[in-house]
Structure 1
Amino acid sequence: MSRKVKILGTGKYLPRRMVHSSELDKKLGLKEGWSEKKSGVSYRHYVDTETASEMGANAARQAIEEAGLSIHDIDCIISASGTYEQPIPCTATLIKIQLDLVNTNIPCFDINSTCLSFVTGLDTVSYLIEANKFNRVLIVSSEIASPGLNWDQKESCILFGDGAAAVVVGRSEADEASEIVASLTETYVEGAHYTEIRGGGTSLPATSYCADNHNEYLFDMNGKAVFKLSSKVIGGFMKKLFEQVPFKASDVRMVIPHQASGLAMRIMRQKLGYTEDQFMNIIATHGNVISASIPMALHDCIKQGRIARGEELMLIGTSAGLSLGAVLLVY
């Protein structure tokens, strides 16, 4: 089902602290160059004093300005993030405070499907806009991965960075081509435990933390298993996705993938049959910023003039679950 929804503006914020892969090589006792070669990341950013809500608000202000709107034109704020500033209240509420909207009653809520949170948020919001529930929605993905990394897992800890991205979404005018054409998400639960943080929820609460189980509260990923399963299902997923639309995968002007790792994106691009010019890649200067990766890459794609209004765009990625998700849209 297509929806007359338009991306009105985008924004991005990166923390002040830049961390080069050579610094991680020293931290991990590795040969210089190992981290960059393995991850595809030259440098990433880690928070210094920034909070998730501060970063999200900074990205949001830019997105609202790019949309030519005022903050008071927004009628809903959604945090679409895989991490959160605190368990309660939702991060969207904290972002609203940072945006000085304390005297308004616009609703705030969070959507979390880990790395696919932005894609899920955009897909969900598009139906709400189509149904006239909201007019202009601010979707913010603000991620702080660095405190939860397990430095004993060298192949995963070198991948991640911190940062935020925001997108303002609204209704397209009748004479505009902009729309969401189709979307698809599938979850393959055989991969549910390939990527997880087991501690911090009700099964292993914060009060159970101790020196003996501290790894349970850190990020844990079986990268080879994730890659094997996603490679197995991507073909059938793409077939189902493009069965919904009147154009072929080759007609897509730009693909905005989740910035999982340099190797993962290279193999995905080859499997999907896209050229490097069609495949937005910012991994070298950002790392994997969880759910913010896709809207960050979208922002850079637009700012660099690599996509124009009326052209087809695909947002696609994987997330813990294991899930595959994509949105096809006309920008």
Structure 2
Amino acid sequence: MKQIPIKLISTGRYAPTKVMTNEDFSKILDTNDEWITTRTGIKRRHIAETETAIDMAYEAALKAIEKVNFNKEDIELIIVASITSPVKTPSIANLVQAKLGLNHKNIVAFDLNAACSGFVYALEVASSMLSSGIYKSALVIGSEHMSSILDWTDRSTAILFGDGAGAAIIEPSTDVNDSIFFFNGSRGDDTGILWINPKVQMEGREVYKFAVDIMPKAIDSVLKRAKLSLDDIDVIIPHQANLRIIQSVAKDMGLPLDRFLINLDEYGNTSSASIPILLDEYKDKNKEKKKALLIGFGGGFTWGASILNI
């Protein structure tokens, strides 16, 4: 496995101002705060009223740029992970390029669909392209307008999801300690357990069984590739799907729950945006370099794990 030294330059996030609480759902569905909280750990989620996945991707990118006064002219690669673009083409990445005023530059820009694993997939693609020596800087974004694809009469899915975006700027590093490792994959599921056609359709129990099985396996596999142990990891940043899933994985791996970052009580499941949103929140509070393990899973069934310095 080739080591790819990559440094994280900056991160950013965006969440719509409108918030939908569990009490709000009790007014339109046969549910209540206790039922939702005990089964998911979710209390609130942000819902886009006027923003699209394009707008949210741009806002998250802009925050990452402004946070470190980054020269956007250095960006030569934009990859957006999303399953909720409002248009078939151009890609969200193309439109973020335009919104950033980079139309004049020869930028490679495209979208990637790997559901909730999308950000980790996009991070690997961007890292590999940067390692070629052709590209200077990459902007990697996860952006989802999940509320646009929900069946609001389906209690089993409508309560789970929220809208938002997270972004990261990465560049090649000359420090071998910045090597980044991945373990990404897909099961090639064609049974309809977790599909969007055109609304979210999900068999929750089957998704749960898949998640609690693949997450420990993916974590172990990426650790082996990096020749590290869990003791070498400062923080685990998991996809925010369901608190019970994270609790089960922590128990299975013999880890205290506080080793895993959690913010789904505020955002719910934002699909490909969940990991970069959580990453940015962590970076806002922790300025020292840490070794992080990102772990996601999603429709496909896909999974993505990465170890990097943040």
TM-score, normalised with respect to structure 2: 0.93
Deviations 1:180-229 (A, max 9, x none): 0x21123223575210013xxxxxxxxxxxxxxxxxx2100111001113
What count of residue pairs does the alignment treat as equivalent? Answer: 309
Larger radius of gyration: 1
| Partner of residue 308 from structure 1, selected from 263, 275, 288 | 288
Paired residue secondary structure (1:228): helix
Partner of 1:266: 247
Partner of 1:291: 272
Deviations 1:6-46 (A, max 9, x none): 11100001112111111012111324432233221111110
Paired residue secondary structure (1:54): helix
1:24–1:35 CA contact under 8 A, matched in 2: no
Matched, 1:328 2:294: no
The one-letter amino acid paired with 1:178 is D
Partner of 2:27: 26
1:22–1:33 CA contact under 8 A, matched in 2: no
1:131-280 map, 5 Å = 131-174=132-175, 177-180=177-180, 182-190=181-189, 192-198=191-197, 217-280=198-261
Deviations 1:81-136 (A, max 9, x none): 22212111111111122222233332211111011111001011111111112110
**Residue 154 of structure 1: how far off its partner (Å):** 1.1
Aligned CA-pair RMSD: 1.8
Instruction: Provide the C-alpha distance between the structure 2 equivalents of 1:236 and 1:77, rounded to a whole number of angstroms.
Output: 30
Give % identity. 28
Paired residue secondary structure (2:177): coil
Partner of 2:37: 36
1:51-62 map, 5 Å = 51-62=52-63
The one-letter amino acid paired with 1:132 is G
Residues 10/29 of structure 1: CA separation in 2 closer, same or farther (3 Å cut): same
Paired residue secondary structure (1:126): helix
The one-letter amino acid paired with 1:301 is Y
Partner of 1:93: 94
Deviations 1:282-308 (A, max 9, x none): 100111101000000111111121x73
**Residue 275 of structure 1: how far off its partner (Å):** 2.4
2:219–2:295 CA contact under 8 A, matched in 1: no
TM-score, normalised with respect to structure 1: 0.88
